Amino acid sequence: MRLAAVLVAGSLLLLAAACGGGDSGSSDTSSADEWAGDVCSAVTDWTGAISSVGTTLQEGGVTEESVNDALDQAREATDTFAEDLRDVGKPDTEAGDEAKQTLDDLADELEQGRDDIDNAVEGADNLQSLLAAVPTVTQTFTTLSGEVAQAFSSLQQLDAQGELEDAFSQADSCDELENS
């Protein structure tokens, strides 16, 4: 059982390593720098929440309640992240509409991943059945991690004039992501 808990924690940490929910922007257009900062803040907040869940599980004393609590926290963080991405709005650039669509698509993927996790643990009424869902949960978090990283990379390269790439490199809240 300890190994399975470590696998759950590891998958949550893997997800966190890729990229957080947090500050809501607006559905209106914002400057590219402000927009990039809001996106990075959301990613950073989500990363912190997922990392915290993984750390909690690695500390030992894994019980049915602690696994359920960890899954609830991960789902809540993912829901918040998806909502924050939708709320960021679009940057005031030529590629603003494409950037907004990229975030909306990522939010849809995050919500689908959360639903996949819910389905994997549905009906789990004890620690053993929760731990049996670990491979599905791990794979889902790995997939979400890749989707977040891919969307973030796509956003940086969207426009030919480099406005978004410059905005990401100049936004203070993006420094932590670039260093990780």
Above 50 in pLDDT, residue 22? Answer: no
| Segment holding 169, helix H or strand E | helix 163-170
Average pLDDT over residues 81-100: 92
Q: Please tell me the predicted confidence (pLDDT) of residue 99.
A: 93
Label residue 19 by pLDDT band (50, 70, 90). very low
Q: Is 161 buried (19+), middle (13-18) or exposed (0-12) by CB count in 10 A? A: exposed
In angstroms, the CA 134 to CA 24 distance is 32
**Residue count (the chain):** 180
pLDDT averaged over every residue in the chain:
79
Q: Please tell me the predicted confidence (pLDDT) of residue 4.
A: 35
Contact residues for 85 (Cβ-Cβ < 8 A; gap 6+): 21, 39, 42, 103, 104, 106, 107, 110
**This prediction's pTM:** 0.79
